Amino acid sequence: MSPLANPSADFDTECLFSCGRPVLQWHHLTGRGRNGPYLDPDLKVPLCHRHHVLVHHDLRQQDVDTPPTDVLWTPMAATAYRLSRLAPFYARWADYADHEFLRPLAAATAVDADRVYTDLRQQLPWNHELN
């Protein structure tokens, strides 16, 4: 069974990026919501420490390591946040995997996240509390 299908697999699983290093951490693809818990606790992938740090560096570079504070935290905002975190992960995975679909998927996912955020920001009332 693939480690992607079995998130409770032992840590002797190889890193998803096929670097040969053992898995030391599970990366939660969609991260945590504003109130703390993981948005999708079972949606995680096995990564070695080096690649887990690299993936979080990518998230910080795209400013998606934490949920946005300039939109109301609604189910639609949570969906946009999920998409915005998946896009850089797909792009990074494309560096290591022989799957031609990953780069276009990363680009399409980023565009969709931006579209949803744009729509959410246009709907904001000027005096509405964001938190």
CB atoms inside a 10 Å sphere around CB 80 = 24
Domain boundaries, the chain: 25-122
Residue 64 pairs with which residues in a beta bridge? none
Query: In the numeric block, which tokens belong to residue 120?
Result: 């959410």
CB atoms inside a 10 Å sphere around CB 90 = 21
pTM of the model: 0.84
CB atoms inside a 10 Å sphere around CB 34 = 16
Dump pLDDT digits (tens) for 73-128.
999 999 999 999 999 999 999 999 989 999 999 999 999 999 999 999 888 664 35
Cβ pair 27, 92 in contact under 8 A: no
Angle between helices 102-122 and 75-94 (to 10 degrees): 160
Dump pLDDT digits (tens) for 7-65.
455 556 889 999 989 998 999 999 999 999 999 999 999 999 999 999 999 999 999 99
Q: How far apart are CA 85 and CA 58, in angstroms?
A: 9
